[in-house]
DNA sequence: TTGAAAGCGCTAACAT
DNA sequence: ATGTTAGCGCTTTCAA
């Protein structure tokens, strides 16, 4: 009853076992299985069949040792518990897993707080990954520094002002254009645009999208209603004050931090949203998700972000030519704040 | 300017490099670094110092090859997108990561639908993990079958009727006791208990907890208000009907599926919660999380579940003696449904 | 206490 | 087209 030859003492056969069973050399088997090097059709078939019969499964670890690869992608997730409240990261992870596993890679996760990349550091030190995906953008991210120092290929889901970082994000120009057009169609004749740091490409894209939408519509926008380089609570407050005085009926916020500040400024001034003024924003982050009233915004599909990030980091690893500027689809989520 | 000797061409030194630099053998260095085998204090210090100076970092992959280990734990997360809506899994994952990384293990994730364990299968086939943590209980889980077939140590976060599976869950007896006591203190004199499959240990625990609470309080319970082996929507409906006729003022549901069914039965009968009858449940799963009115329930701390699962699977892997019955702290989350 | 050597399972020159 | 031989970086007998 014990030691049945055809039994599933599965996945124990090594490449060497297959070679011996066939009376050929290891390299021959290796060549067949890896598809590299020329092999006669005959031996190829012989090997394939034998490998299948023996239920041979290559040892990825050993292959990795020999090639200095791990076939693992590191994914850095936020450590903060309250960030877990939206499905964003889990859906991202799902997209990443699905994509990398189709290339026979696996995902190693590391949690990291905004100021603590120690888990990532371990993974790098232990040589557990060939590349890394950062799932959120953090100013002055220690993870970015670490990855650069160690020359690990990585991509960031989101946007940063550091142009040397490969970023995966939606097409902000087109998204902002669509958002602006929607608002125009809703009758907003005087829409303000509140943008953050001008040197940040993403803000330029939003600006362009805004302008485009106006051009398409044939209407003219009031340049005095465009604010950029807004940084800090105070700057937004001031801008909102001015905007109100200029009689605008709608605000587009370049990001959710600006939006939160604008909302609190409006609340302070007792200006009702959306009755007195409409407001819309961009986000990938959760802080607006549960706001009252719900805020109209441009949303990225986290699953797709994950997929794209995965594909991109895999190309980086394999030195394939890849498109650094990634344009992703998005979704205009119309909520009460613009009705 | 190039080739500075003290430069950070970091983490490139191998064990062999250290050995040569010291004029000792690889095995000596290996012994020192692994702490195995006797080594003179003198050489030990010498090696330690040199390794530090050379910024030597052991190659975990190579070590793994030699020891047939990976120093990775697989974590299976639900694939379904709507399950991502609660922070449960992310917090679990955080607890797991934190714990395993303290033992110098890493986490490899696999997403799995209830009926599709193919990603887990890949990870096993590729020998990427030494053990696995399942983060939710699925009836007839293909993942469980797979893990057993391959003799991979694993634990389940949650409960299952399969006693051969190591389960990490809260102490249901004590939790049910506490819940019952709370309800008694709130003046519920006729509390019904609705339990699922009797052969499932967890239900016995809940039953015992219920009885204990009554005994402690000195009051007597009505055995006619205890239902077990409830399975299917119809059974719960019938039970609820009877319970109402028997004039009970409170229902404790053994799990959230039962609770959902009981709630819909009550709604059908137009019996208001909590005005006419109070109701409480147990859960680890999200389906009750967003119910109106909010449901009082016993909650586990996902972070702690993760930590414990991680510790347990690590002991399994290292053949340490471990406690199979894991009792975890929980939290009575009082909501409107019992007020 | 230490060293030599074999081996983990695979890949990749270098031969033939 | 296939075999031979070294490794990859570490652990682990077996000797010394």
Judge contact between A54 and A21, C-beta under 8 A: yes
Q: Does A158 lie in the same domain as A230?
A: no
**Is the CB of A16 within 7 Å of strand C?**
yes
Which range among A235-244, A284-293, B69-78 shows the weakest confidence by mean pLDDT? A284-293
3 state DSSP class of B207: helix
Query: How many Cβ pairs closer than 8 A exist between chain A and B?
Result: 120
Please check whether residue B236 lies inside any domain of the structure: yes
Please state the rounded mean pLDDT for residues B12-35.
Answer: 90
What gap in Å lies between CA A116 and CA A66, rounded to an integer? 32
Please state the rounded mean pLDDT for residues B198-226.
Answer: 90
Q: Evaluate if residue A5 carries a pLDDT over 60.
A: no
Q: Does A264 lie in the same domain as A121?
A: no
β-bridge partners, B282:
B298
Please state the rounded mean pLDDT for residues A215-244.
Answer: 92
Q: Does A113 lie in the same domain as A42?
A: no
Which CATH number does the domain housing residue B18 bear? 1.10.260.40
Burial class (CB in 10 A: 0-12, 13-18, 19+), A213: buried
What pLDDT, on the 0 to 100 scale, is given for residue B192?
Answer: 96
A83 pLDDT tier (thresholds 50, 70, 90): low
Domain with A279 in it: 172-299+333-338
Q: Evaluate if residue A38 carries a pLDDT over 70.
A: yes
Looking at A58, A82, A98, the residue that finishes a domain is: A58
Tell how far CA A59 is from the center of its chain: 31
Nearest to B291 by CA among B266, B312, B269: B266
Does the distance separating the beta carbons of B125 and A11 come in below 8 Å?
Answer: yes
Q: A137-141, A143-147, B18-22 — which one is most confidently predicted on average? A: A143-147
Distance in Å from the first CA to the final CA of chain B? 74
Q: Evaluate if residue B219 carries a pLDDT over 50.
A: yes
Q: Does A251 lie in the same domain as A202?
A: yes
List of chain B residues whose C-beta atoms are within 8 Å of the C-beta of residue A149: 8
Please state the rounded mean pLDDT for residues A121-130.
Answer: 96
List of chain B residues whose C-beta atoms are within 8 Å of the C-beta of residue A77: 90, 93
Q: Evaluate if residue B307 carries a pLDDT over 90.
A: yes
Does the distance separating the beta carbons of B11 and A125 come in below 8 Å?
Answer: yes
List of chain A residues whose C-beta atoms are within 8 Å of the C-beta of residue B8: 149
What pLDDT, on the 0 to 100 scale, is given for residue B323?
Answer: 61
Of B320 and B188, which is predicted with more confidence? B188
Which range among A119-123, A263-267, B228-232, B288-292 shows the weakest confidence by mean pLDDT? B288-292
**Is the CB of A38 within 7 Å of strand C?**
no
What gap in Å lies between CA A303 and CA A301, rounded to an integer? 5
Nearest CA in chain B to A86: B85
Q: Does B45 lie in the same domain as B186?
A: no
List of chain B residues whose C-beta atoms are within 8 Å of the C-beta of residue A72: 108, 128
Judge contact between B93 and B77, C-beta under 8 A: yes
What pLDDT, on the 0 to 100 scale, is given for residue A81?
Answer: 66
Please check whether residue A63 lies inside any domain of the structure: no
Nearest to A314 by CA among A99, A90, A49: A99
A271 pLDDT tier (thresholds 50, 70, 90): very high
Helix (H), strand (E) counts: chain B = 12, 12
DSSP-H helix ranges across chain B: 15-22, 26-34, 41-53, 60-67, 88-102, 118-125, 142-149, 172-185, 201-217, 232-245, 256-268, 302-317
Q: Which residues of chain B between 64 and 83 are close to nucleic strand C, CB under 7 A?
A: 65-66, 68
CA atoms within 13 A on the CB side of B34: 15
**Predicted confidence (pLDDT) per residue in B71-122, tens digit:** 999 999 988 765 544 577 888 999 999 999 999 999 999 999 989 999 999 9
CA–C1' gap, B16 and D11, in angstroms: 13
**Predicted confidence (pLDDT) per residue in B280-298, tens digit:** 998 765 567 667 788 999 9
CA–C1' gap, B39 and D10, in angstroms: 18
Judge contact between A106 and B108, C-beta under 8 A: yes
**Predicted confidence (pLDDT) per residue in B155-210, tens digit:** 999 888 888 999 998 888 999 999 999 999 999 989 999 998 877 778 888 999 99
Q: Evaluate if residue A174 carries a pLDDT over 80.
A: yes
| Percent of chain A surpassing pLDDT 90 | 60
What gap in Å lies between CA A276 and CA A316, rounded to an integer? 49
What gap in Å lies between CA A147 and CA A137, rounded to an integer? 14
Bases in strand C with any atom closer than 7 Å to a protein CB: 1-13
A287 pLDDT tier (thresholds 50, 70, 90): low
Q: Does A212 lie in the same domain as A267?
A: yes
| DSSP single-letter state for residue A200 | S
3 state DSSP class of B106: strand
What pLDDT, on the 0 to 100 scale, is given for residue B114?
Answer: 86
What gap in Å lies between CA A239 and CA B181, rounded to an integer? 57
Please state the rounded mean pLDDT for residues A159-165.
Answer: 86
Whether this prediction's pTM lies above 0.85 is answered by: no
Which CATH number does the domain housing residue B278 bear? 3.40.50.2300
A175 pLDDT tier (thresholds 50, 70, 90): very high
Nearest to B89 by CA among A272, A109, A185: A109
Nearest CA in chain B to A104: B122
Please check whether residue A66 lies inside any domain of the structure: no
B38 pLDDT tier (thresholds 50, 70, 90): confident
Please check whether residue B317 lies inside any domain of the structure: yes
Q: Does B216 lie in the same domain as B162?
A: no
Q: Evaluate if residue B33 carries a pLDDT over 50.
A: yes
Which range among A174-183, B105-114, B328-337 shows the weakest confidence by mean pLDDT? B328-337
What pLDDT, on the 0 to 100 scale, is given for residue A203?
Answer: 85
H or E element: which one contains A336? none
Nearest to B277 by CA among B289, B288, B262: B262
Please state the rounded mean pLDDT for residues B233-251.
Answer: 93
Which range among A104-108, A240-244, A254-258, B211-215 shows the weakest confidence by mean pLDDT? A254-258
What gap in Å lies between CA A202 and CA A167, rounded to an integer? 11
Please check whether residue A17 lies inside any domain of the structure: yes
Q: Does B180 lie in the same domain as B212?
A: yes
Q: Does B215 lie in the same domain as B184?
A: yes
Q: Does A203 lie in the same domain as A97?
A: no
Q: Does A117 lie in the same domain as A28?
A: no
Q: Does A181 lie in the same domain as A163?
A: no
3 state DSSP class of A134: strand
Please state the rounded mean pLDDT for residues A134-150.
Answer: 92
Please check whether residue B65 lies inside any domain of the structure: no
Does the distance separating the beta carbons of B126 and A71 come in below 8 Å?
Answer: yes
- What's the domain count of chain A? 3
Please check whether residue A32 lies inside any domain of the structure: yes
Q: How many residues does chain A have?
A: 339
């Amino acid at each position: 009853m014990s030691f049945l030859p055809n039994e599933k003492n599965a996945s124990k056969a090594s490449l060497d076992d297959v070679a011996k069973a066939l009376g050929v050399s290891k390299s021959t088997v290796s060549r067949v299985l890896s598809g590299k090097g020329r092999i006669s059709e005959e031996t190829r078939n012989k090997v394939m069949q034998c490998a299948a019969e023996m239920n041979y499964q290559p040892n990825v670890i050993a292959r990795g040792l020999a090639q200095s690869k791990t076939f693992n992608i590191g994914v850095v997730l936020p450590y903060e518990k309250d960030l877990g409240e939206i499905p964003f990261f889990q859906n991202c992870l799902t997209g990443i897993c699905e994509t990398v596993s189709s290339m026979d890679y696996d995902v190693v996760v590391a949690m990291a707080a905004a100021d603590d990349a120690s888990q990532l550091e371990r993974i790098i030190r232990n040589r557990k990954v060939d590349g890394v995906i950062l799932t959120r953008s953090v100013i002055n991210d220690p993870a970015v520094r670490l990855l650069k120092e160690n020359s690990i290929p990585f991509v960031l889901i989101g946007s940063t002002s550091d142009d040397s970082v490969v970023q995966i994000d939606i097409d902000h120009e087109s998204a902002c254009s669509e958002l602006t057009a929607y608002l125009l169609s809703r009758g907003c004749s005087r829409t303000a645009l509140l943008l953050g740091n001008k040197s940040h490409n993403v803000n330029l894209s939003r600006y362009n999208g805004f302008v485009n939408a106006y051009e398409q519509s044939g209407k003219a926008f009031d340049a005095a209603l465009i604010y950029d380089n807004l940084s800090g609570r105070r700057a937004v407050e001031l801008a909102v004050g001015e905007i109100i005085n200029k009689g605008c009926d709608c605000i587009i916020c370049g990001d959710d931090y600006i939006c939160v500040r604008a909302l609190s400024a409006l609340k302070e001034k007792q200006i009702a949203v959306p009755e007195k003024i409409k407001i819309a924003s961009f986000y990938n982050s959760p802080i607006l998700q549960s706001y009252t009233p719900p805020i109209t915004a441009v949303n990225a599909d986290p699953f797709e972000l994950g997929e794209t990030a995965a594909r991109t980091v895999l190309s980086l690893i394999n030195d394939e030519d890849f498109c650094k500027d990634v344009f992703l689809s998005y979704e205009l989520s119309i909520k009460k704040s613009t009705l």
